[in-house]
Amino acid sequence: MEHIRNLVRETLSEAWYTLYRYTYEYLRSDGQWDKQQREAYDRGNGAAALLYDPVRQRVVLTRQFRLPTYINGNQDGFLTEVCAGLLDGDAPEACMKREILEETGYAVTSVVKVAEVYTSPGAVTEKLYLYQAQYSPEMKRESGGGVAEESEDIQILEWSYTQVFDALKKGLIRDAKTLILLQHAIVFGPLKGCVPNENG
């Protein structure tokens, strides 16, 4: 039996992306139908990638101003993140290679998918495709920093694995997709076995 019926959608705003209100009936676990109303913000799906250099034991991260964090307790509004962007109609892998080039200037040859996650399932429809991508200094093609026409002003950070572990230990990484990708890399991926001891 279907657990959702009489689903009705209203558009509340299309100022930036689209905010919808949904009214529906939900079949509860006790067998009763419960009429509910929820709002969902649709900004499309996206992709994010951790760039790593296994030879030099480095990762590339970005730093940029994020207004929602600024108005919710992040003192300067800046976050350290992995490279990411909206699909904008592209396939996830093509989007990821494009975003890596635009944001970091590296033309990576391949990306490896590690997960699909919902960013904030209580209110936002967005699904993120998460990747790892190996890079090297020879792959640098452009300056990076984002697309000026989109008001992007992105700082490029190249951290050693030790700097990554230190930042994680101190709680300096507060972006969810970045935490997921870094921790996945430490447990399953390219950073596995590279965790420094207390002296290193």
Per-residue model confidence (pLDDT) at position 200: 43
Range list of H helices, the chain: 67-70, 92-104, 161-169, 176-187
Instruction: Answer yes or no: pTM beyond 0.85.
Output: yes
Per-residue model confidence (pLDDT) at position 18: 97
- What residues have CB less than 8 Å from 81, skipping those under 6 apart? 48, 61, 62, 63, 64, 175, 177, 178
* pLDDT averaged per 10 residues in sequence order, the chain, 200 residues: 92 96 97 97 97 97 96 96 95 96 96 97 97 97 84 92 95 97 95 69
- Cα 26 from Cα 48, distance rounded (Å): 33
Per-residue model confidence (pLDDT) at position 151: 76
Per-residue model confidence (pLDDT) at position 146: 85
CA-to-CA separations, 72 to 15, 16, 84, 109, in angstroms, rounded:
21, 20, 21, 38
Q: Where in the chain is the domain with CATH 3.90.79.10?
A: 46-187
Per-residue model confidence (pLDDT) at position 73: 96
Dihedral angle of Cα 167, 170, 172, 175, to the nearest 10 degrees = 90
Architecture of domain 46-187: Alpha-Beta Complex (3.90)
